[in-house]
Structure formats: structure tokens, C-alpha cells
Structure 1
């Protein structure tokens, strides 16, 4: 439960309250850490207890597709569908249960909900789980996607353990690496990564990060570190002129030759960064 929801009386949240660190651009880095004064301690304590509440329900579609469809070929007929096995094994992984306890856990859920559901036994879960293929949700190959690109730093630790005991403790190396990530928000998958040294900027690493892409991209999202003409030229050459580039310019940005970036600067100056 959100902590703001436990504060009484209810407050009408504005954009300044929802994004206190981004509303005022001129003093964005000088905002103190947000603090909340709890006035209804009993309700706040109850909200903390509810974080450990386990609420599981079975939809009608799951009950309908629980049994395996009858097949017309020779051989034994399966009693449970792949969906039933997948749900049971998923709960086993989430709650870290052995197979027998997983069977009992699924029985208790069906009993509490009053559903006439036959639960697979532990041997069936073990046997079917080894050869079951989980069908993942795939995006439409012909549909343009939205691409998100970002980077983060990785610290490189010094020599420890066996090397330090054998050769002595040496001065720790003060260096780090930069990991560039390409994300598909529709599937939530990391499409590609690129590891570079700390001297390689985001604009320099972007062409290699997008080199193996064979899908159409209609929107590109990135932070202000990718604001530059080189990034715009790379995206236009790779995906064409129909791509929508959404990169926030810095607060001291000035108009240039890029018409799209100039439009962003004008919109921010007229309506503010949050409305943009």
C-alpha cells in the first residue's frame, strides 16, 4: 500500500506533489528529501501488515482450461493442461515449495475458493515440468516498437582473496565500466547490451548498440545524456524520418539546426517541462 494513502486527511495531489524533484527545473537538485508525518498510526501499521497478505484467485478462464483437451491420436491421455502445470510450478518457485507441498498448496487454494479442481500430484508435476515448453508472449513482428536506451556504471573491484594472499595486498584499482542497455517495453526484454570503458560516451556507443536491429522503430526514448545531433543522425539513418525522438534537452538548451529539438525547446519554454 502506498504510504501517501495511509495519511489522513486525504490530500489532492498536484503535479508538484507527485514529482517534487522535477517540477522546478531551476532548483531541481536543491530539493530536500521528502518526509511524511504519520497521523493515523493504527491504519499505517495495518497497511504495513497487509504487505505480507497472500491473496490468490483463480479466474474462470483458468478453471475452464485446467483439464487437457482430448486428442485423437494413440497413446495415453493427459488429465491436466500445460496451463495447470505451469501455474503450479510457478507458485512452487515463488514460494520455494517442494513438489508435495506444492500439491497441498494448490489443494488449499481450490478448497478456500470452493472450486471443484483436481490438482496434479507431485509426480505429475515433476514429469510434466521437465518436458513442458512455456509459450511466451511474442510481439507482432510487423508492428513498430518503442525503443528505450539507457546506460549505467559498473564498478570494477580490486584483487582480493587468493591473489591477495599469494602476492600481497596491492592498491585497489579505481576504475569502472559502462553498460549500455537496449530495452523493448512491450515485452520487457533487454534486446541488446554493450559494455564499454568509462571513456566511451552514450552517443559513441549507440551505433554499435543498434547495429543488429532488424525491426521497425517508431519511437525512441532516452534521457538527456543522449541529447545531441549525432544521436539524431544515427536514428534517422537507421529507422528513417518517421521515427519520433523523445529526448529531454537540458535546461540551458538553445535552438539549433534540428527542427524537432527546437520544437521540444519551444514547448518546454511555453508550457514547462512537466507538460511537455
Structure 2
């Protein structure tokens, strides 16, 4: 429905106001996010060159850390591969480091399949409160430009689907995956959970993950104690044995029918899913809404680097809020 038809029913609840309690520290952390020394330190010189391997074939000149550092700088400062090469070469010259900088073709070749650490170093001990959501990222291909320029109708727009798992306690991205646009959220969930090596106390996701297969997977992976918060659709039907042996989904359906959907969202904590929307907005503001890489393996590496960058920025400093009204 258009926005104007729902205008009379909007703003039924007064918007809460918050105040940042660590404003000075948070402001300094925002400044440090642009500091080059955060992303490139003199200590990297010792591990810049790759270790010699004993198998047959040519020897790599640069370590995975060197490629990761260069690609990370390119994503942080939004530089293509050739400009990234020149940018890092200038930094190395200013710092007086005696190292060679890979060229742009090496970035493209070595970037495919590059592994990066996902969890932040300052992640707190204890179980994870996992929030999973997905969004779309545009890629190079036929799209709006071709349609506007030549008045042709494109068969489909080119984009990828980014799946993120956020820890509500620490604010870290603990798992991420990039898939094609035809992969649904339940299909991508097993690969996301494989990246988590800690206990999960709570799992929150939108209605796209509704169903017994998702609940069974979570219980099998994290045990019976995991709290699953997934809203069923409006036309959801209880199972035949809902009266005698109700499942978790049956309990959610009954609670919504009894108290209403809004009351269930407040009591269950589902409203915290808004932080996933905030994280997606943060991604598209800091990293960008498009992927620069042309092939799928490099696009996956670019997405992993984006998650690593956001975790690094979270490590530098986060705002602390308190409710004032």
C-alpha cells in the first residue's frame, strides 16, 4: 500500500530519545577510523614477504597479509586496484619501508579465495546473541544504465546477496557470506553457522527463516537451550499436534494470536532486529552499496574485507547510550 494510506496509523508510539554518554571517546574513535596507521603499521614489514614453500612451482613474493593489507586499504579509502597500488606505494615511500608493493593484477589474482579473520579481537567472553539478516549489493553488469541509455528492457539486474550475522552483545559481525541472488536466507544459514565457534544463547531472524528446518538446525547446532525468535507469517497455521505437543513455532503462533504481534515483538525481544537494519545501513554508508570486483570469488573476498573493516572500526570505539525520554 502507498505510504499515504497508512499515514493515519503511523507514529502511534512516541519515539524514544537517547543520549550518548561517552561522546568525547566516541568522537575520537571516529577520527581514528581515517588514520592510516590503524590500517598499516611499520610492524607489517616483517611479515610482508611470503614464506618459501618446499613444493614444486614458483615461489610467491607476497604473503597473504600483504595482499589483505592492500585490499583493505583499497576498500577503506574506496580506491580501484590500480589506484590502490599507487596509494600503498606512496605510503611505503613516506614510511621509509624497504618492501615492494604488489601490482593490481596480483591483487586480482591473489584476492580470489583469500581468508580473513572474522571475529574481532575484543569480542567478550560468553554466549553470542546472534542476529541474522541479508541485503542486496549491486555488481558490474547490465542494469539501470543500459535501460536508461538505450531504452532497452534488461532481463534482470545484476546483484549479489550479502548475509550477515551480528552479535548483539559486542556489536561484531561474527559470520558473513556472499551468495547469488537466488539463494534464500534458510539455504545460506548452515554456512553462516559453520563460521561460529562459540555458544549461541539467542537467535533472531526475520520471517524468511520461519519453519521447522531452521529451528531443527539451530537446536542440533547449539542445543535445546537456544532461544529462537522468528516471527511466523500472518497466515501461519499450527501443526496438527499443537494442542498436545506444541513446537516452538506453535508457541509463537499462539502467543501472537493471544496478545497480538506488536506485544509479542516487545516481550520476545524481536524489536532488536532493527539493529540489523542499522548494520546494513552502516555497511552501505562506510563500505558502499556496490561491489567493485568482477568475478564471484573476488566479490566474496571483498565482502569479507568489508566485514573485517566494520569489526575493526567497532574495536576502535562504540557509542554508549542511555534513555532520557
TM-score when normalising by structure 2:
0.41
More helix by share: 2
Structure 1 or 2, whichever has the larger Rg, is 1
TM-score, with length taken from structure 1: 0.48
Q: Which has the higher contact order (CA 8 A, sep 6+)?
A: 2
